[in-house]
Structure 1
Amino acid sequence: MKKIIAMILMLAIVITGCESKGTKNKTLNIGISQIVEYVALDENREGFIKALEESGYKDGENIKIDYQNAQGDIALSQTIAKKFSSENKDLIFAIGTPSAQSAFNATKKIPIVISSITDPVKAELVKSLEKPETNVSGTSDYLPVERQLDLMKKLLPNAKKIGFIYNTSEVNSEVQLDELKKVAKGYEIIAVGVTNSNEVNSAIVSLLKKIDVLYVPTDQLVVSSMPMIVKNSLQAKVPIIAAEKGSVESGALATVGINYYKLGYETGTMAVSVLKGEDISKMPVKISDNTEVYINEDSLKKLNIEKPLIDNIKYIKTK
């Protein structure tokens, strides 16, 4: 009888050990949902994956990354989110507000880390930046519009009419438009809303006839149309002040921008903490404070604008 009990105990230990080993060596499934293919968002994703790798989480080894791009289609982003939810991913990384909202609507259980989102609270993803109280946390690309306005004043002192083009269903853009209206005292703000990429061309052609400078927010639908917007703006000799570096690389004149690769990396370190068991509902949303002034040298010349006397400018050329 004692031998039987001993054998049972040994078997239990072996089984428990195997289960622990199996759990330890389990391949984690991570879904990445990106709203559109765009340089800033791509850098965001690359930084995220790099942070995972440097923490020992490598795709094809102990994690499996399922990257999906909605190509600007909200319905497709919702389909992607439902797919990730049904597959019970261990973690979802949502890049851009529409992707984040789709993921949050699809699941309240799977941890969702977010990035490239201006206002997670207004997007109803978290209760507060300090304490999300949901299955969502991550990083925000919020940058006070006033910083861009100060740069515009230095580069374009005679500008009086500011154009603003945005996607009417993009919460980020509404936040930036409201802020611009509050801080741009003495300027006339002429805003034009669009609902899809097919409307951008006619909207921008009409808007350029009425303004001195165009402001482009961190709006995924709009920035994905930057080559066309830049072409029309340069022809009309209307400078573009952008909200992020990627737009300047596409031909916008200038921005005070954050580094989206670093932002993604920071999000990746947060994801690692979640994968190791930290409660995402208690993780504060982080806002980047590392900014630099970027000016497109090609656009500067085409617009016949002299190089400004501003410290620490990074001149870049159109890609």
Structure 2
Amino acid sequence: MERTTLSRRTFSKGLAGMAALTAAGTLGLAGCGGDTAESGSTSASGDGKTYKIGVLQLTEHAALDAANDGFVRALDESGISYDIEQQNAQNDQSACQTIASTLVNDGCDLILAIATPAAQAVAGATSDIPIIGTAITDFAASGLVDDNDAPGGNLTGTSDMNPVSDQIDLLVQLVPDAKTVGLLYCTAESNSDIQVALAEEALDELGIAHERYTVSSSNEIQQVSESMVGKVDAVYIPTDNTISAGISTVTMVTNENNLPTVVGEVGMVEGGALASVSINYEELGYRAGEMAVQILTEGADPAEMPIEQMTADECDLVYNQETADTLGIDVSFLADEGGEDVSA
């Protein structure tokens, strides 16, 4: 099969409309105006105001952590003064709802929601406070906005819709003899369902069979991963938060059983997967932070701010050389095309 050339590129901060398909370790709910889990302030805002900002992150893993870091960096670089309340729901839906309600009741000026379930919880708690979402695949399909180009409410943000077809092309380059691909994801995440449907479409066009392997919680990851062994020739994983948080469990199984795994983002490659055409989540969060500053200081209306999305040309080609060596797969062509080795 002729190989499609992929290259490593950097993120562009331009606006882009999005197509329709395109607990807790620290649940100290102190509130935006009280003692905070993490607070920060920079030079005083032009109007002398200190903004109250709440953050609800679904769970801890490299991609969502990076988006959070990027958001805070944008606030710092903007020169505004702010207090920030950082909360992590540890992938617990009821904790998401509790935290969302608390942030709303404490009168935040703006709330950042990281990942789809977090955004859904915050959106259900307020229709007045501006909400910025990030690390969300499709805002419209998830019921968060009326339209990705014209949100129409109090919520907007940045999408992590993946270049799924490019990721499938990469899988085929790395495993050219693959006849069946396993699609591993969590059924509780609507963002994953969207990406898996796109992956199936891409595989159908290539004449490659595929099979869904799903978990409903992190407790099932090892068992389901083991169930793929001997049944598929390679594995594709979208930007699924549950699987990403448990990627070391997945790759323990796949790498020991010579099963190449192509994934949705760089954090999973760092965790032992083989390769990805990956969004830069820190830059995704940074752009979400820029949108937040526009709302807070310039009076920008979330209803009129299109969801922003990265394209394949703005993503990074990454691979794990240690995993490639374990699997006996030659990835030298990825380095030749500008790919980055992210192995430890």
Deviation, structure 1 residue 200: 1.3
The residue that corresponds to 2:31 in the other structure is none
The residue that corresponds to 2:125 in the other structure is 106
Tell me, yes or no, if structure 1 residue 287 matches structure 2 residue 309. Answer: yes
Greater relative CO (CA pairs within 8 A, separation 6+): 2
Tell me the SS of whatever aligns to 1:214: strand
The residue that corresponds to 1:315 in the other structure is 341
Checking the alignment, whether the CA contact within 8 Å between 1:46 and 1:264 is kept in structure 2 is yes
- Distance in 2, Cα, partners of 1:258 & 1:195: 25
Deviation, structure 1 residue 188: 1.5
Tell me the SS of whatever aligns to 1:176: helix
Checking the alignment, whether the CA contact within 8 Å between 2:262 and 2:273 is kept in structure 1 is yes
- Distance in 2, Cα, partners of 1:299 & 1:309: 15
TM-score (norm 1): 0.89
- Distance in 2, Cα, partners of 1:209 & 1:200: 17
1:239-254 equivalences under 5 Å are 239-254=260-275
Tell me, yes or no, if structure 1 residue 56 matches structure 2 residue 79. Answer: yes
What one-letter code is carried by the residue in structure 2 that aligns with 1:299? T
Distance 1:200 1:178, change over 3 A: same
Instruction: Give aligned-pair identity as a percent.
Output: 37
- Distance in 2, Cα, partners of 1:188 & 1:73: 34
The residue that corresponds to 2:282 in the other structure is 261
Deviation, structure 1 residue 308: 4.0
Tell me the SS of whatever aligns to 1:67: strand
- Distance in 1, Cα, partners of 2:259 & 2:68: 32
Write 1 or 2 for the structure with the bigger share of helix: 1
Q: Deviations over 1:55-74 (max 9, x none)?
A: 112xxxx2110000011111
Tell me, yes or no, if structure 1 residue 36 matches structure 2 residue 27. Answer: no
TM-score (norm 2): 0.83
Gaps of 5+ in 1: 1-21
Tell me, yes or no, if structure 1 residue 142 matches structure 2 residue 164. Answer: no
Checking the alignment, whether the CA contact within 8 Å between 2:163 and 2:277 is kept in structure 1 is no
Q: Deviations over 1:203-260 (max 9, x none)?
A: 1111233111111111111110001111011111101100111100101000001111
Deviation, structure 1 residue 25: 2.8
Larger radius of gyration: 1
The residue that corresponds to 1:125 in the other structure is 144
Deviation, structure 1 residue 53: 0.7
Tell me the SS of whatever aligns to 2:52: strand
The residue that corresponds to 1:298 in the other structure is 322
Deviation, structure 1 residue 27: 2.2
Tell me the SS of whatever aligns to 1:137: strand
- Distance in 2, Cα, partners of 1:208 & 1:90: 50
Gaps of 5+ in 2: 1-44
Checking the alignment, whether the CA contact within 8 Å between 1:155 and 1:308 is kept in structure 2 is no
Q: Deviations over 1:152-211 (max 9, x none)?
A: 111110111111121112110110111111111211111122111111111111123311
How many residues in Structure 1 have an aligned counterpart in Structure 2? 294
1:121-270 equivalences under 5 Å are 121-185=140-204, 186-270=207-291
- Distance in 2, Cα, partners of 1:50 & 1:56: 11
Checking the alignment, whether the CA contact within 8 Å between 1:40 and 1:260 is kept in structure 2 is yes
- Distance in 1, Cα, partners of 2:155 & 2:330: 45
- Distance in 2, Cα, partners of 1:160 & 1:99: 37
Checking the alignment, whether the CA contact within 8 Å between 1:292 and 1:312 is kept in structure 2 is no
Root-mean-square deviation (CA), in Å? 1.6
